[in-house]
């Protein structure tokens, strides 16, 4: 089957970047000393989490709306389907041009994101239990009100807008060798790949998906998207895309070198690492590139100069604390320990003294008595403890074992 040529050249990408420049931020490209030491090569972070609306999505939405308004028949309004970043991007881009916008979200969408879209002037419609059901409602509204439905990634104008990220990277770091890009539907990856490969075909471009939702997992080998289970879950909801775009697949097939996956443990750890290293917050989808480096899914050599795109920072504030604890636990820095003791005065104090002697800090203490697994006259003490790493945890468990004390880690240890 004949594949039509990609309708975007370097000139078109530069025109798109110039068209959207007044409405978006040229985000920072920052070298990070700590990450560079850890991964053995210079590492730079492209901080799109500091972009307007907290995500790169504003770029594609701004360019698409500009193209619609500059056409001979501008639309009466636009409509988008999204649970977050695309919705906010469309809402702001439309508001800047005085264009009515409707955003359709699933009924369970995050309240802060709903309110953010409303504050940007969009009409928000909550419908259905998932994005697929919301999309059907959006199509109905679009037809009834003669609105233009804006696709979040499978659109050449959107891809051209996202390509501005890649153009900025290469202008700021002409000698880069590797770029690591979050991958959901493929809008950002295809745009960045075009912007880089049309100028420097030698640059290695790597896309990163979540292990649970990875339709592109084997795409570079067999050209076929992988089916994703209906109820697949990931904390990286911004790239929880089950149906890759046709335009995006065409670009990725020709211009992307590798696609890797990371699990939610790695993503949670990356949220923590980004916060510690840069004092900025990244959402799960935004930090998968950093997670890929941490898990050595992308390996850097001594001659490499790598850019990791942090694509968004719109993490639900109610999830920040849980994500941090999850990341700390999965990296061995937070331990939940159950110890069975004689229920007598002084026993708890002695237990805490042992923990302190190992240089650990206790965050929480809980007693369990009268449960069937706790013998009469005994108590089970649950400790939440801050530790250095899993080896540190093993030291404590070994000490308890030597003392004949029944102790177990409730979070488990790596095999």
Q: How far is CA 310 from CA 44, 282, 288, 338, 343, in A?
A: 10, 7, 8, 38, 51
Q: Which of the four pLDDT bands, split at 50, 70 and 90, describes residue 124? A: very high
Write out the two tokens for 411.
């979070």
Closest CA relative to residue 180, chosen from 294, 313, 9: 294
Q: Which tokens in the block code for residue 177?
A: 């060798």
Q: Based on the domain organization, do 323 and 189 belong to the same domain?
A: yes
Residues 167 and 251 in one domain: yes
Task: Verify that 103 and 85 share a domain, yes or no.
Answer: yes
Determine which helix (DSSP H) or strand (DSSP E) holds 265, and give its type and residue range.
helix 264-278
Provide CB contacts within 8 A for 155, sequence distance 6+: 60, 64, 187, 245, 247
Quick one: average pLDDT of 277-284?
A: 92
Q: Rounded mean pLDDT of 202-224?
A: 95
Decide if pLDDT at 229 tops 60.
yes
Which pTM value belongs to this model? 0.88
Answer whether residue 162 is part of any domain.
yes
pLDDT classification of 411: cutoffs 50, 70, 90? confident
Whether 46 and 166 share a structural domain: yes
Closest among 384, 387, 292 to 332, alpha carbons compared: 387
d(CA 130, CA 2): 35
pLDDT reported for residue 231? 84
Do 118 and 196 fall into the same domain? no
- Together in a domain, 180 and 283: yes
Whether 266 and 292 map to the same domain: the answer is yes
Domain that holds residue 138: 76-146
Q: Residue range 255-278: average pLDDT?
A: 93
Q: Domain boundary at 112, 146, 180, which?
A: 146
Both tokens of 366, joined, read 């809980």
Mean of the pLDDT values across residues 231-260? 92
Residue 64 lies in a domain: no
Please count the structural domains in the chain: 3
HEC profile for 187-222? HHHHHHHHHHHCCCCCCEEEEEEECCCCCCCCHHHH
Residue 29's SS3 state is strand
Q: How far apart are the first and last CA of the chain?
A: 48
| Arithmetic mean of pLDDT, 190-212 | 98
d(CA 147, CA 141) in angstroms, rounded, equals: 8
pLDDT in tens, 40-90: 999 999 999 999 999 999 999 999 999 999 987 889 999 999 878 999 999
Confirm whether 355 is domain-assigned.
yes
Q: What is the pLDDT, as a whole number, of residue 104?
A: 95
Residues 221 and 253 in one domain: yes
Confidence of residue 110 (pLDDT cuts 50, 70, 90): confident
Give residue 374's pLDDT band: very low, low, confident or very high (50, 70, 90): confident
Parallel, antiparallel, or unpaired for β 204-210 and 258-262?
parallel
Share of the chain above pLDDT 70, in %: 99
Whether residue 3 is contained in a domain is answered as: no
Lowest-pLDDT choice from 141-145, 149-153, 248-252, 372-376: 372-376
pLDDT of residue 2: 64
Does residue 319 carry a pLDDT above 80? Answer: no
SS3 assignment, position 180:
strand
State whether 313 and 202 are in the same domain.
yes
Model pLDDT, residue 219: 95
Between CA 223 and CA 35 the distance in angstroms is 34
Q: What is the pLDDT of residue 265?
A: 87
Assigned domain for 61 exists: no
Output the CA–CA distances (angstroms, integers) from residue 286 to 26, 64, 151, 209, 317, in the order listed: 17, 22, 20, 11, 15
The arithmetic mean of pLDDT across residues 163-182, rounded, is 98
Rounded mean pLDDT of the chain?
92
Confidence bin at 326 (pLDDT 50/70/90): confident
Q: Supply the angle between the helices 10-20 and 156-172 in degrees, to the nearest 10.
A: 90
Q: What DSSP string describes 87-156?
A: HHHHHHHHHHTT--EEEEE-TT--HHHHHHHHHTTPEEEE-SSSHHHHHHHHHHHHHHHTPEEE-SSSSH
Of 296, 327, 358, at which residue does a domain stop? 327
Residue 2 lies in a domain: no
CA-wise closest residue to 116 among 89, 144, 143, 140: 89
Is position 70 within any domain? no
- SS percent in the chain: helix, strand, coil, step 5: 45, 20, 35
- Identify whether 101 is part of a domain: yes
By mean pLDDT, which of 130-134, 157-161, 283-287 is the weakest? Answer: 130-134
Domain stops at, among 258, 292, 327: 327
CATH number, position 140: 3.40.50.1100
Judge if 358 and 271 occupy the same domain: no
Query: How high is the pLDDT of residue 405?
Result: 86
Same structural domain, 364 and 266:
no
Same domain? For 259 and 405 the reply is no
């Amino acid at each position: 089957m004949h594949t039509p040529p990609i309708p975007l050249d370097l000139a078109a990408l530069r025109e798109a970047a110039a068209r959207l420049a007044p409405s978006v931020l040229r985000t920072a490209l920052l070298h990070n000393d700590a990450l560079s030491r850890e991964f053995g090569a210079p590492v730079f972070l492209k901080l799109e989490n500091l972009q307007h609306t907290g995500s790169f999505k504003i770029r594609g939405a701004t360019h698409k709306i500009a193209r619609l308004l500059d056409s001979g028949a501008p639309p009466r309004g636009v409509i988008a389907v999204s649970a977050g970043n695309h919705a906010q991007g469309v809402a702001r881009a439309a508001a800047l041009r005085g264009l009515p916008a409707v955003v359709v979200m699933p009924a369970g969408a995050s309240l802060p994101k709903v309110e953010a879209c409303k504050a940007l002037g969009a009409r928000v419609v909550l419908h259905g239990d998932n994005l697929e059901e919301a999309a059907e409602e959006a199509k109905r509204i679009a037809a009834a009100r003669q609105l233009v439905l804006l696709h979040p990634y499978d659109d050449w104008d959107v891809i051209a807008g996202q390509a501005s990220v890649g153009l900025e990277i290469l202008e700021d770091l002409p000698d880069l060798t590797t770029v690591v890009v979050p991958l959901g539907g493929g809008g950002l990856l295809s745009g960045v790949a075009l912007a880089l490969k049309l100028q420097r075909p030698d640059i290695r471009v790597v896309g990163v998906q979540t292990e649970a939702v990875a339709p592109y997992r084997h795409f570079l080998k067999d050209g076929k998207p992988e089916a994703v289970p209906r109820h697949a879950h990931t904390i990286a909801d911004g790239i929880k895309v089950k149906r890759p775009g046709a335009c995006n697949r065409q670009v990725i097939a020709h211009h992307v070198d590798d696609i890797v996956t990371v699990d939610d443990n790695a993503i949670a750890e990356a949220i923590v690492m980004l916060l510690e290293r840069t004092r900025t917050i990244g959402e799960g989808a935004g930090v998968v590139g950093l997670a890929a480096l941490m898990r050595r899914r992308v390996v850097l050599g001594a001659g490499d100069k790598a850019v990791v795109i942090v694509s968004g920072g719109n993490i639900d504030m109610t999830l920040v604390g849980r994500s941090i604890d999850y990341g700390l636990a999965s990296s061995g820095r937070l331990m939940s320990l159950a110890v069975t003791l004689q229920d007598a005065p002084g026993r708890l104090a002695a237990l805490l003294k042992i923990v302190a002697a190992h240089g650990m800090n206790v965050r929480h203490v809980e007693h369990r008595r009268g449960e069937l697994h706790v013998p009469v006259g005994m108590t089970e003490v649950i400790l939440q403890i801050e530790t250095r790493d899993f080896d540190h945890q093993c030291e404590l468990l070994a000490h308890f074992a030597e003392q004949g004390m029944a102790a177990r880690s409730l979070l488990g240890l790596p095999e």
